Amino acid sequence: MYEQFYGLSCRPFEANIDAVEYFPGLTFRKAITTIGHGLNKGGGVVLVTGSKGAGKSSLLLHLRDKLEAEAVTLAMLSVAELGAQGMLEGVLQGFALDDPETHSESPFAALDLFCQDEARRGSRVLVLADDAQAAGEDGLLALQELGRLRLGDRPLVQMVLTGGLDFAETIAEIEGLGELRERLTVEYTLDGLMVDEIEPYVDGRLKWAGWEGGPVLAPSIAGQLHEATAGNPEAINRIMTRLLEHGADREMEILNSDLLEVVLHEFSDVTPDGEMLAATEGAVEDEMDRDVDKGVPGEVVADNEERQGDVAEVSSSPAENGVGSGLAEAQLVAIEEAFVQRDKTFSKLRREFDELREQAPAQEVASRIDRLEQRLEDQEQVLRHLLKRMIEVFETREQPEEKA
């Protein structure tokens, strides 16, 4: 077990997120500030979105701890565990109102009375709903009901809701959520960690688990990790767990690029497309699609999706493509063609960006364009890395037959 070799008290990248020290990355600091502004507007609903593994749950846990010293009475809900039918019960339980013997009113009336009492003594009532999107339409309608609790003109309950990148779109599409939409004051999307945050993030988790050594990552590892994961914390955690396991087996104090290549190769062998690389590429693509849909013509988006389909087709398993021991010449040509077409798509997108810039866009639009360009570059790097691993896998499988 690698814990013994590295002198760790637990597995730092597999620990319960409730126990791990919060990492103050730039995207998380901006999220806390944005949420604070939204809540200070009074009575609003704040929406936090992000790809799977972006750190939405960790953010809410940190927010909960941060607000404990303030005049805030809060309940934190794990919506995925509650389900749509248990939403009101979860809120009541979060405020310790779930015992029917403590009140004679209906549950909703008891909650109303509780919120009014808290308001009169100067305390705000806040509901933190993690993965609220999982509640579905019925659960979101139940959350909307909380907005109807008022003291005069003042809403008594504020909410911070988290969900996937399409959560805002989901809320917009459900006809009965008009009141919830009207109360939305702020929406913030969590990005991945920046490349210069990878090493502090890793070191922080190791030290939290009792590690007292020097830097565990070789200088070049941080950039490679960022390229392979797009800065997604969950993806980083999975890779780091395997790195530590391999490192302990080889008695390595410093985890280097060669070892990381072994781990990335492992993940690419899990499925034809590579379980880890596919997941992290999805995080990049989700962010790209979210920005592209706001400012790039539909034909460009469709063209990009078509090219991704071409790459997925040539990236299928050897059995599916009728390949025994190596990449067929046709497949190599198809891969090269996919890159050519992808480069054309990138060029087309960048021309659209230049046209948008010439229209003197607002600072927010310009910032979004810059961010999207970086995402495009990250996505291209991830794709190239994935195909490189695929080729190595096929060539490795080819060698035994040549010797035979």
Residue-by-residue DSSP string for 213-239 = SS--B-TTHHHHHHHHHTT-HHHHHHH
- Please give the Cα distance from 111 to 149 (Å, whole number): 9
Closest to 162 measured CA to CA, from 194, 129, 200 = 129
Chain centre distance of CA 319: 33
Tokens of 396: 């490795």
Tokens encoding 195: 């490349």
Dig out the tokens for 176 from the structure: 């009965």
DSSP 210: T
Largest CA distance in the chain: 85
Query: Rounded to whole angstroms, how far apart are CA atoms 114 and 109?
Result: 9
pLDDT (average), residues 119-148: 92
Give pLDDT, residue 271: 37
| Cβ atoms of residues 35 and 160 within 8 Å | yes
DSSP SS3 for 47: strand
* Euclidean distance between CA atoms 382 and 312, whole angstroms: 13
Report the SS3 class of residue 95.
coil
Most confident listed range (121-130, 289-298, 360-369): 121-130
Six-digit token pair at 237? 């955690």
CB 290 within 8 A of CB 282: no
128/161 Cα distance (integer angstroms): 6
Per residue in 334-353, pLDDT (tens digit) is: 555 555 555 556 655 666 66
pLDDT for 191 beyond 60: yes
Residue 288 has pLDDT above 60, yes or no: no
At 75-85, the pLDDT tens digits run: 999 888 776 56
127 and 82 in contact (C-beta within 8 Å)? no
Closest CA to 155 of 188, 192, 128, 180: 180
Averaged pLDDT score across all residues of the chain: 76
pLDDT at 399: 54
Residue 183: what pLDDT? 92
Distance of CA 329 to the CA centre of its chain: 38
pLDDT bucket at 220, cuts 50 / 70 / 90: confident
Per 3-state DSSP, what percentage of the chain is helix, strand, and coil (rounded to 5)?
Answer: 65, 10, 25
> Could you report the per-residue pLDDT of 352-376, keeping only the tens digit for each?
666 665 555 555 556 666 666 666 6
Q: What pLDDT, on a 0 to 100 scale, did the predictor assign at position 186?
A: 93
Q: What is the pLDDT of residue 330?
A: 47
Model confidence pLDDT, tens digit, residues 30-74: 999 999 999 988 768 999 999 999 999 999 999 998 888 788 999
Contact call for residues 210 and 173 (beta carbons, < 8 A) = no
Residue 261 has pLDDT above 60, yes or no: yes
User: What is the average per-residue pLDDT within 280-287?
Assistant: 46
Predicted local distance difference test score (pLDDT) of residue 282 = 47
Q: Is the pTM of this model over 0.75?
A: no
If residue 36 lies in a helix (H) or strand (E), which one and from where to where? helix 26-40
Q: Which tokens sit at 117? A: 């009492």
